[in-house]
Amino acid sequence: MSILWEKSQSCRWLVRRTRDSKPFFLAFATICGVVPGVLGYGVMQLTNSLNPQSEAQLCQNARPESLVTNPSPLLLFSSIHV
Q: Following CA atoms 66, 72, 73, 76 in sequence, which dihedral angle do they give, to the nearest 10 degrees? A: -30
Residue 74 pLDDT class (50, 70, 90 cuts): low
| Long-range CB contact pairs, 40-48, < 8 A, 24+ | none
Give me the sign of the Cα torsion angle 15, 21, 22, 27.
negative
Model pTM greater than 0.85? no
pLDDT per residue as tens digits for the range 24-53: 999 999 999 999 999 999 999 888 877 788
H helices of the chain, in order, are: 2-7, 9-20, 22-47, 52-61, 73-76
